Structure 1
Amino acid sequence: KLATAVMAMPVRIEVAPAGTTAKDIEQEIFIIPRETKLSLLERLLQDISGTMLVFLRTKHGARKVAHTLKLMGHKAAEIHSNRSQAQRRDALSGFKSGKYRVLVATDIAARGIDVDGIEAVVNFDLPTNSEDYVHRIGRTGRAGRKGRAISFATPDQKGEIRAIERLIRKQLTESQMPGLATQAAPRPESGPAQSPRQDKEKNRPYKLGPKRPFRRRRRHRGSGRVG
């Protein structure tokens, strides 16, 4: 009332609390060994028909994932600090126009990405801080559209999951993919030195597991709701 009395045509602006995420974004998380992440991403690409923005922590990881997706036959582009400004512009332009279906990015390089109609954001790696999670997934579910935010976490990242849930004041739905391992394979205690041929294997694309249909099962029970 006071504003109306002393101001001409006042405008009221309300700011959402920190950590608020769009209500139209469906958020879920897979807790899996790191070595099965590429297999899961491939299965999600079969299940999701629209565009996908994939986040990784490092430029090396982003480059490797983008390279592997291209070898699989997916139209993918990458944005990270090893790409020139012209290459980043071309990647973003191609993603907007539909030339590329998947854009693989790091947090720093992805600043300023403003593309409507992204169907899913995939956190291939959890962000280094919880606030970045909100910024990442905010690129889907815009303008009244439904969006999906899918995160991959390893079993030792329960603390990071809880930190995200506290920030967004919401419990993440834990999903499972039938046929994918949920525990890491045991490592041999010792072994012979690797040969040059074995060293080359490290630089090869990820190997994929068998393809099966996607199915969501249960909610993550690692933490409760925080009000």
Structure 2
Amino acid sequence: PSGTAAEKVTHELFVVKKDFKLQLLAKLLQQYRGPVLLFSRTKHNARKITRSIRDMKHSAAEIHSDRSLAQRREALGGFKTGKYKVLVATDIAARGIDVTGIELVINYDLPDDTENYVHRIGRTGRAGNKGHAISFATPDQRGNVRDIEKLIKISLPISKRPDILQEQFSQSSQQSSYKPSYQSSNRRQKNSYSHKRHTQQRSKFYR
């Protein structure tokens, strides 16, 4: 249903300056070995990200409106078979993608339409498998994060991975006082969305 986030998907938020997104992406791709579906807001950025991922020595393909039908089929087929570790997509081009076993969805850019967040993360955590969704938010995207939290009725927890310090990517993180829009009263629901492998805090980044 609209506004319902997949129950088997955990969420993680990184507050990162735009110029540091690729550095953060490189660190994350070193940690995940399974298939990764990455969302870009524009086709131009999708092309740039795909090239950068290849420069990081990871296999990647892109799918957006500038790609021919044959190119899209090849990219999607290669992603399904494991030829490509990362599939970079725009929201429009990603419609109809049905691939099981996606380990991670990365929202490299937050969606323009908040409801697309639900559609994006719904592509992981399928067929009884657990999934994980990581979102990159720039320091000025407070409103976007709040809109997503209101829609899915949970808070997006800021990552506190010990090996990836937020201070490396955003100098403002120590000045955080933002409180999430949604505070769940259901502890079981909160626990089901918490990332078990890492210590996190709620999304209090924004002032």
Check whether TM > 0.5: yes
Q: In the TM superposition, what is the alpha-carbon distance from 1:85 to its structure 2 partner?
A: 0.7
Q: In the TM superposition, what is the alpha-carbon distance from 1:183 to its structure 2 partner?
A: 2.9
Q: Which amino acid aligns with 1:218?
A: Q
1:219 to 185, 202, 207: 202
Q: In the TM superposition, what is the alpha-carbon distance from 1:216 to its structure 2 partner?
A: 4.7
Q: Which secondary structure does the structure 2 equivalent of 1:166 belong to?
A: helix
Q: Is the 8 A contact 1:40 1:180 kept in 2?
A: no
Q: Distance in 1 between matches of 2:6 and 2:19?
A: 31
Kindly report the root-mean-square deviation, in angstroms, between the aligned alpha carbons of the 2 structures.
Answer: 1.7
Q: Is the 8 A contact 2:15 2:205 kept in 1?
A: no
Q: Is the 8 A contact 1:121 1:149 kept in 2?
A: yes
Q: Distance in 2 between matches of 1:50 and 1:31?
A: 24
CA spacing shift, 1:171–1:67, aligned 2, 3 Å: same
- State the partner residue of 2:93: 109
Alignment of 1:158 onto 2:180:
no
Q: Is the 8 A contact 2:9 2:132 kept in 1?
A: yes
Alignment of 1:182 onto 2:170:
yes
Gaps of 5+ in 1: 1-15, 185-213
CA spacing shift, 1:222–1:74, aligned 2, 3 Å: closer
Alignment of 1:27 onto 2:1:
no
Q: Distance in 2 between matches of 1:216 and 1:45?
A: 19
After superposition, the C-alpha distances for 1:158-195 in whole angstroms (9 at most, x for unaligned) are 001000000000111111422622138xxxxxxxxxxx
Task: Name the stretch that deviates more: 172-181 or 55-64.
Answer: 172-181
Q: Which amino acid aligns with 1:182?
A: S
Q: Which amino acid aligns with 1:23?
A: E
- State the partner residue of 2:77: 93
Gaps of 5+ in 2: 173-196
Alignment of 1:171 onto 2:132:
no
Q: Distance in 2 between matches of 1:96 and 1:119?
A: 12
Task: Name the stretch that deviates more: 168-177 or 214-223.
Answer: 214-223
After superposition, the C-alpha distances for 1:52-94 in whole angstroms (9 at most, x for unaligned) are 0000000000000001111111110000111111000000000
Q: Is the 8 A contact 1:162 1:222 kept in 2?
A: no
Aligned structure 1 segments of 4 or more residues deviating by more than 6 angstroms: none
Scaled by the length of structure 1, the TM-score of the pair is 0.75
Q: Distance in 1 between matches of 2:198 and 2:153?
A: 25
Scaled by the length of structure 2, the TM-score of the pair is 0.82
Q: Is the 8 A contact 1:120 1:149 kept in 2?
A: yes
- Between the aligned residues of both structures, percent identity stands at 56
Q: Is the 8 A contact 2:43 2:66 kept in 1?
A: yes
- State the partner residue of 1:40: 24
Aligned counterparts, 1:196-215, within 5 A? none
Q: In the TM superposition, what is the alpha-carbon distance from 1:215 to its structure 2 partner?
A: 5.8
Q: In the TM superposition, what is the alpha-carbon distance from 1:48 to its structure 2 partner?
A: 1.2
- State the partner residue of 2:62: 78
* Structure with bigger gyration radius: 1
Q: In the TM superposition, what is the alpha-carbon distance from 1:221 to its structure 2 partner?
A: 2.5
